[in-house]
Amino acid sequence: MSRAERLSPPPGVFSDNATNRVSPWLELKNHLNRQSSGFDRLARSHILCELPIHLFCKKMIRFPQPFALEGIPSKMKLHVPRALGLLLVSYLISSSFAQEPGQSNPAQPIVRVQTSLVLVDVISQDHNSGLPVRDFKKENFRVFDNKHEVPISSFDAGASNDTRPVNLWLVVLCNERGKIGGSAGFVGNEALFRPAFDHLDNKVSVGVAHWCDNGETQLDLPPTEDRDSPINALAKAIRPITFQAGEDSYRVGETAFRRLIRLIIQDAHRRNPQPLPVIVFLDGDNTGQPHASLDQVVDDFLGTSGIVFGIKDSRAPIVPMLTGGDVAEIEHYMADHTGGQFFSAAPGGYTGALQMILLQLHFRYELGFIPPAIDGKHHNLRVELTKGAKENHKGVRLRYRPEYIPVLGEPAWAR
């Protein structure tokens, strides 16, 4: 799909200049708390139209201020990055009585089991409401590795609060002088993202990070359960700086971008239990990278089965096409290849866009399977519903990462 096709929705498709307004997105608080009455009321009363790869219109949710989907994951004919999620499982066999913190029990053995398990995060979307489907079971899914069905070894559902913890990173490019479509559009509006955190549970931690075209990279705030600190850190990260990018600095910025992604990967690898790293770019995505370098960084990120989303300020100008073989809009590219999405929002829609991302993450499914071979080669991945599940949930769409490479262990640089 060309960039022009993605940015030119057919008649009737929801766009930034839509004027429909409904009751505030705050209605979703009951949904996030898994109260079915809130979910059902929302599903009945709200609609939004999205732009999928096949350019047809679906019922979704409209928000008090509009936002739109910038792109939908597609089966592109390019080389697609891939990786293996490694699961380290520690079983603690404990006695049935309480034990004081810090005490050890000589009779309490610790059994550690290490196994290679491909973890596939699956996001579902109901055709009528546009919201995640919450009642799928393990037997409703089928997983295919290189077109061969494989047994599902593990199954976790967000509706049951069984999925891995999430480390969500708000990532920005520095607010550089003369930068087109960067983080400048968010300055002064950082607090508009804050309501999205009101109903998060303690399985979601939020951090902030940035990179600059002068080569600077920094994890400004490690993931935290505090809901105010990320907004304060974000405001500091997008303060204007005096540096002005030029032709010579672009390659420096591209290297800084790749280094930042690896810092986020390292953070995930060093935590126990290992979280699902999720990046939310707050940027107009006027970016580019050499194809091979970008594929490598996406491969690295998929090693933790991470997901990339993005929110673009709808007032940002359209990005010009790149020449010379570089991949344009690299944040969109990463979202396409990790099962994520990119949104375009006016300031009044920032909260709604971020809450839609959090909603999808909260109600995702995690399917685990043992790869047929640890061969370090490219494997196509496909997830589909069984015939019975399709009949009961007509038109449901599934998003997931399309490929992986089965390998043992993590790269040395990530340790």
Dihedral, CA atoms, 406, 276, 344, 355, nearest 10 degrees? 150
Tell me what percent of the residues of the chain surpass a pLDDT of 90. Answer: 47
- What pLDDT digit, counting tens, does each position of 128-150 carry? 888 899 999 999 999 999 999 99
By the 8 A CB rule, do 254 and 144 touch?
no
The domain segmentation of the chain, as residue ranges, is 69-85+163-346
Dihedral, CA atoms, 239, 241, 290, 222, nearest 10 degrees? -40
Nearest to 361 by CA among 52, 133, 121: 121
pLDDT at 409 (0 to 100)? 73
Distance CA 257, CA 254 (A): 5
Q: pTM to 2 decimals?
A: 0.75
- What pLDDT digit, counting tens, does each position of 242-299 carry? 887 766 777 898 899 999 999 999 999 899 999 999 999 999 888 888 888 888 888 8
Q: What six digits make up the tokens of 37? A: 């009455």
Q: Which parts of the chain have pLDDT scores under 50?
A: 1-65, 71-114
Domain 69-85+163-346: CATH class, spelled out? alpha beta
